[in-house]
Amino acid sequence: MNTDEKLIGIVQQGKFHIFSPASAKGKSVRLAKMSIMAAMLPEHDEIDLTKHENKVLMVSSHHCDDDWGYSAEIVEEAGPILTAVVQVVFDPSEVPGA
């Protein structure tokens, strides 16, 4: 993924687990506000995801590799009902008792 794209996923154990789009599905990444071209480590501009634990997010990111989503911005956080629906639709194995 190399263009500004909307990602849908869930935060678990401090990482953003991507459900959609299909080109990034299954990746578990950390998010950084900085561009991939920045002359510093992404950890210096990492987005703290702890307050979003177990929540579904829509994230805008310009570039996503195997470890990081760059130029990332949280667009929206889903409430509990929508979080449950997204988990069932995209990844039923994530739903307790499924």
Per-residue pLDDT of 62-87, as tens digits, reads 888 889 999 999 999 999 999 999 98
Which of 2.40.50, 1.10.3470, 1.20.1270, 3.30.460 would CATH assign to domain 5-92?
2.40.50
Do you find a cis peptide bond into 21, omega within 30 degrees of 0? Answer: yes
How high is the pLDDT of residue 2? 53
Q: Are 95 and 87 in contact (CB under 8 A)?
A: yes
The domain spans of the chain are: 5-92
Q: Which of 57, 52, 58 has the alpha carbon at shortest distance from 14?
A: 52
* CA dist 78 → 45, 54, 55, 83 (Å): 24, 10, 7, 6
According to the model, what pLDDT value does residue 29 have?
Answer: 96
pLDDT in tens, the chain (98 residues): 556 899 999 999 999 999 999 889 999 999 999 888 888 888 889 999 999 999 999 999 988 888 999 999 999 999 999 999 998 888 766 544 44
